[in-house]
Amino acid sequence: MEYYNYIKALHLIFVITWFAGLFYIPRLFVYQIEAIQKPEPDKSILGKQFKIMTKRLWFIITWPSAILATIFAIILLILIPEWLQQSWMHVKLGFVVLLFAYHIKCHYIFKELQNDVVKWTSHQMRIWNEGSTIILFSVIFLVIVRDAINWIYGVIGIFVLAILLMLGIKLYKRIRSKNPKA
């Protein structure tokens, strides 16, 4: 147990860098999708640059962070196995599975865009970008509040957050259509 705080700190550091990657990669996908729609030479120049940026972010920061966050989480669960008997941890692990599903879907999108296959619009990718935000809010509130959480208010809060995010995206789209440089 003397190493608990170090392991917890490392777990949190890699969770933060993992989320940083998951927040930024869909944003780069948005830019990459928009670059594909530009005329030459912008299309080629920007497309090449965004491919390099996404590849570095994905393989140097995001994937290693996901793996290291998971390793340190497993070590924490080995150190404190009682957590596995608590309902908040079951819910948290459910969100972690959801986060990995989101991560893997981002990986498929990454691979498609690296091959110039575009199946998403930039607007759809902006909405997709909020998935990791909703998971992050859910996990943070769950871990901090734990058993004291009122599940009804928690679920309502997540839906309110999702609605506010969608309204923000719609507002941004409206502003951007009036002013394309925004």
Binding residues for heme: 11, 92
User: Which phi-psi region, left, alpha or beta, contains residue 150 (left: φ > 0; alpha: ψ -120 to 50)?
Assistant: beta
With H, G, I as helix, E, B as strand and everything else as coil, classify residue 116.
coil
Contact between residue 155 and residue 149 where contact means Cβ atoms under 8 Å apart: no
- Residue 134 burial (10 A CB sphere; 0-12, 13-18, 19+): middle
Cα–Cα dist 130/22, whole Å: 10
By residue count, the chain amounts to 182
Binding-site positions: 11, 92
Place of tokens 């394309």: 180
